[in-house]
Amino acid sequence: MGKTRIAVLVSGGGTNLQALIDAQNSGVLKSGEIVLVLSNNSIAYALARAENAGIEALCITKKECGSQEAFEEAMLAALKERDIDLIVLAGFMSILSGHFVKQYENRIINVHPSLIPSFCGKGFYGLKVHEAALEYGVKVTGATVHFVNEVPDGGRIIMQKAVPVLPDDTPKSLQKRVMERAEWIILPEAAELVSSLIMQDKELKS
């Protein structure tokens, strides 16, 4: 039985993508295989990471497509062409429409740099999440991997990992700790968990 075919959607440096590639190489991610890295930013370093790992790298931009609808249709066509079973959003800076999400129901996962339901939803991304956590004065933060639905950060939670907030933290130092101690650990673990469930599902249907 073939592995779950994974596409990773990225917009930037691709540190979470690297964690997934490393997990695949070390055997943490064994039920799934990353077969495509798709970016909406032509200068994303994540594309180079994919090429270095021998994974197909593809760029589709909204600007080229002319509209969100055309952009999503182009992405869906690329994903269907490659028989993608699971989509992992790893720092993908474009909100997907309800129409897109419905095509891959319970097949899209995302990592968010806080313990949902704290500091999540519209407008909370990247450093903004950590700025909000520090402003609020929380002593514990972390990361969450969740299924994606039409509500930003609103899907069912798969995994969470807590990380301490230190008295002298800056948004950048907190971001780094959350990545290293939470995101890079639970994203590959969640990808493996969901991949194994998809594989079982495929076996039942075949």
3-state secondary structure 142-202: EEEEEECCCCCCCCCEEEEEEEECCCCCCHHHHHHHHHHHHHHHHHHHHHHHHHHHHHHHH
Residue type, 107: R
Of 186, 59, 37, 169, nearest in space to 113 by CA: 186
Could you tell me the two tokens for 41?
Answer: 């930013």
Taking residues 18-28, what's their average pLDDT? 98
Q: How far apart are CA 98 and CA 116, in angstroms?
A: 20
Note the pLDDT tens digit of each residue in 109-164: 999 999 999 999 988 989 999 999 999 999 999 999 999 998 888 999 999 999 99
Taking residues 8-22, what's their average pLDDT? 97
User: What are the sequence ranges of the domains in the chain?
Assistant: 4-205
pLDDT > 90? residue 202: no
CB-count burial class (<10 Å; 0-12, 13-18, 19+) for 35 = middle
Q: Does domain 4-205 have CATH number 1.10.10.60?
A: no
Residue numbers annotated as active site: 112
Of 12, 179, 182, nearest in space to 92 by CA: 12
Yes or no: say if 2 and 35 are a contact pair by the CB < 8 Å rule: no
Could you tell me the two tokens for 115?
Answer: 């313990």
Q: Collect all residues with Cβ–Cβ distance below 8 Å to 174 and sequence separation of at least 6.
A: 130, 133, 134, 141, 165, 166
- Mean pLDDT estimate for the chain: 95
pLDDT > 90? residue 104: yes
For 106, the 3-state DSSP assignment is: coil
Yes or no: say if 87 and 107 are a contact pair by the CB < 8 Å rule: yes
Q: How far apart are CA 50 and CA 153, in angstroms?
A: 26
Taking residues 14-34, what's their average pLDDT? 97
Yes or no: say if 183 and 197 are a contact pair by the CB < 8 Å rule: no
pTM for this entry? 0.95
Position 122 scores a pLDDT of: 87
CB-count burial class (<10 Å; 0-12, 13-18, 19+) for 82 = middle
